[in-house]
Structure 1
């Protein structure tokens, strides 16, 4: 049925785990209740997810690296009845409120632009997404999904894991994030599609032996720097990209990415609206049940949805718009800069300013960076604050919180 690293689990293993759940009252009686789950054991988490879905309950997946107090906070925020923290047999009781209706996968918005929101997605809506997703994915049933991203996040759980099962293949879930281990798995399964965050895909591409090629890779979550995408295309038969949001899941897939901002073609179960290339506007998603304002800025041309920036991440410098990705791509053409993130800081007197953190292979004088930018960017795009770091801080899902990096300039 599926692998977790080197361990293979069959449908019989799932049924045996279901029998264990039947002997635990607070799990067995999960109908119209919601269970928050923070576990390092990926098999137990996935089996529990299947079980609660069958029973008509709801689950709240929490990344396994979350500390106990953080998991309790998320379980409380999502109105969970119990929290299973690294154990099936020591539940933490959170709420006694009985709900009239459950049957959801409960997720949190990324929280990069404000207070995180609780997102409730019915199992029926996820099944609709899976059907549309598999129809659009240009991958056959013989291709193995290698899921090198958290299966507590919709990208790994729905797109990577569940979609692979739906098309009749056996997914491999990777929890050992050592690049050498992942590359060994790719070599074992040459007909593969790798699901991972852009930063990991770039790392794997750098480590990939000259004798080895990626078959297919899928990227999502944030716009990949141009030079990263160029490298990945050189080392892959196909680079795909998908786009979506917590409320709707995946809504677009690009079958062969050459331009990182092009997210792809809309899936059949949704309608996506945006601006034009000359006048970008908010990307709006229409599902069968509701309309979702994404707060993403983009446009549609020739049927392809393109993403420019989070509307809250766009930097307004004296009335002129600065899109972080444009500045990041320019900085990363400097041979010594391997990663950069551009964000804004605000000042009550001077307004928004362009700031950057970067990772480099060697020393670069700040004046050199400013000169590099002056030759390639408009004056309003040039960073005011330039900070070198050993590593750019990321969220558990691989994304960067530009808001967290920002703040106010004193």
Structure 2
């Protein structure tokens, strides 16, 4: 079987080990794994999981930054028949604990201490105070225990991997995404969706065997994992994971590893283009950029083509519930089209807009199977005709190109990360000085948008104290950058807060 024909991720790993055998699969600092070696590492890890009791359909959470270990662990989970549940590295204990409980995770794999974050300690503290809704925690294995853990599976057939049958329509992962309620929900996606969609994506992006792909987009995000790891495995490209985006380090890695493909949010490219030492680095290997997630300046697209000489610069649109992608520009689209639209629907995917300008609906093989153990939320998201209601507002031009103009939901995007006002509001509402609060996204030159909180207080309130309070309980990108104290929140006749009014301020 050729990798492009594989419709399960374990089959994809096995096919790559044969088809791209001696080609580099992953380069992570001093660690360099060929496709054959990757296959061996994945089998060893899957065997260790099986020895730990992980079986078909069991959910296994992964809380770690981009690295060769993240990739091996993720691929090992699904090879063991499990379901991958990624956790955002910026989460605090209560946020992670909620997802572990909601997803019914049997095991948590964690790189404890990343950027000074004591994840296990934070998780344990949240469990002890019931902040995450339960005191129960899953079995935990830290990356410090990697060799010991993998060694434990050696007696269980580590070379061949566990004896389990995985089919294309089995669940491969649960990526949790929040709604307007602020409560994360697990989007159920299958092996077939994860492989078939990114055959198309990788073809449109022009990804080819031998490409070297700098993976800056976090793997805990659908796009980072599937348009990164899965797409590279399909095409025989080399994944070069970067744990934290640092512009100078990125420039150095592009030069050293001769990176050819670099997807990321617009802030990544503007940071590179505007870096004072950029011209000191040889970036001539770069060929492909794919962006999206927020407003894309036309001048940025032009600069990528003119200054960095990129041959392919594309934008795309998708959401977790659509397996990460629904529309995409084409390689021959002009800079204005690339910057002002998200492209057209991928083959096999339909995109519709209710009215001339209205909610964007998506239907096709890429739409999730539903939210995990949440039929009510599933019915709210996917109608009887199979249309996924995205909550985004847009318009389709005469060519079928989609332009996103607004959001029905309150969600906004901070440097490529989704932020949900209801979740932030729930945290702030627990502060003794806060009587009422409403959070909106506000434009930010560097991050695209950031949170601004409008607060009705019960008495004297200090913005610094509120910031510190949020930082203890929320990932940093969710923390409001500004607190505006108001005597009351604007409301309509039915009592609903008028966030459009707040945004206009």
Name the TM-score, length of structure 2 as normaliser: 0.57
How far is 1:295 from its partner? 0.9
The 8 Å contact of residues 274 and 300 in structure 1, kept in 2 or not, is answered as yes
CA distance in 1 between counterparts of 2:45 and 2:274 reads 43
Which SS does the other structure have where 2:336 is aligned? Answer: coil
Contact 2:50 2:80 in 1 (8 A): no
What is the Cα deviation at residue 229 of structure 1? 4.3
Gaps of 5+ in 1: 315-323, 326-342, 345-351, 361-392
| 1:217 paired residue number | 289
The answer to whether 1:175 aligns with 2:243 is: yes
Residue pair 1:21, 1:28 contacting (<8 A) in 2 also: no
**1:15 Cα deviation after fit:** 1.5
Q: 2: distance between equivalents of 1:167 and 1:83?
A: 30
1:15 aligns with 2:63: no
What is residue 27 of structure 2 aligned with on the other side? 3
Match of 1:248 among 299, 322, 329: 322
Q: Aligned to 1:152, which of 193, 204, 220?
A: 220
Matched, 1:306 2:403: yes
| Structure number with higher relative contact order (C-alpha < 8 Å, ≥ 6 residues apart) | 2
Equivalents in 2 of 1:85, 1:139: separation in Å? 31
Aligned to 2:61: 36
Q: Secondary structure at the match of 1:296?
A: strand
The question of 1:286 aligning with 2:363 is answered: yes
For residues 402 and 242 of structure 1, the distance between their equivalents in structure 2, rounded to whole angstroms, comes to 27
Is the 2:361–2:389 Cα contact (8 Å) retained in structure 1? yes
Q: What is residue 266 of structure 1 aligned with on the other side?
A: 345
Change (3 A) 1:31 1:200: same
Residue equivalent to 2:19: none
Structure 2: distance between partners of 1:7 and 1:205: 29
Aligned CA distance change for structure 1 residues 17 and 356 (closer, same or farther; 3 Å): closer
Higher helix share: 2
Where does structure 2 lack aligned partners over 5 or more consecutive residues?
1-24, 113-119, 125-135, 140-168, 368-385, 414-419, 422-437, 447-469, 489-505
Equivalent-residue separation in structure 2 for 1:45 and 1:399 (angstroms): 22
**1:271 & 1:18 partners in 2: Cα distance?**
37
Q: Structure 2 CA distance, aligned partners of 1:402 and 1:299?
A: 31
Decide whether the 8 Å contact of 1:144 with 1:170 is kept in 2.
yes
Could you give the per-residue CA deviations for residues 214-249 of structure 1, whole angstroms, max 9, x where no partner exists? Answer: 532111222224554454444342321111111112
Do 2:99 and 2:184's aligned partners in 1 also have CA atoms closer than 8 Å? no
**Match for residue 201 of structure 2 among 114, 128, 133:** 133
Further displaced range: 2-11 or 206-215: 206-215
Of the candidates 47, 53, 60, which is equivalent to residue 78 of structure 2?
Answer: 53
**Distance of aligned partners of 1:304 and 1:355 in 2 relative to their CA distance in 1, 3 Å threshold:** closer
Whether the aligned pair in 1 keeps the contact of 2:214 and 2:259 (CA below 8 Å) is no
Query: In the alignment, is the contact (CA less than 8 A) between 1:71 and 1:85 conserved in 2?
Result: no
Q: Report the more deviating stretch, 55-64 or 35-44.
A: 35-44
CA 1:146–1:113 in 2, change beyond 3 Å: closer, same or farther?
farther
Measured after TM superposition, the shift of residue 252 of structure 1 is 1.4
Q: Residue 203 of structure 1: CA displacement?
A: 0.6
Distance, in Å, in 2 between the alignment partners of 1:353 and 1:86 is 32
Distance 1:165 1:16, change over 3 A: closer
The two structures have a TM-score, normalised by structure 1, of: 0.69
* Bigger fraction of residues in strand: 1
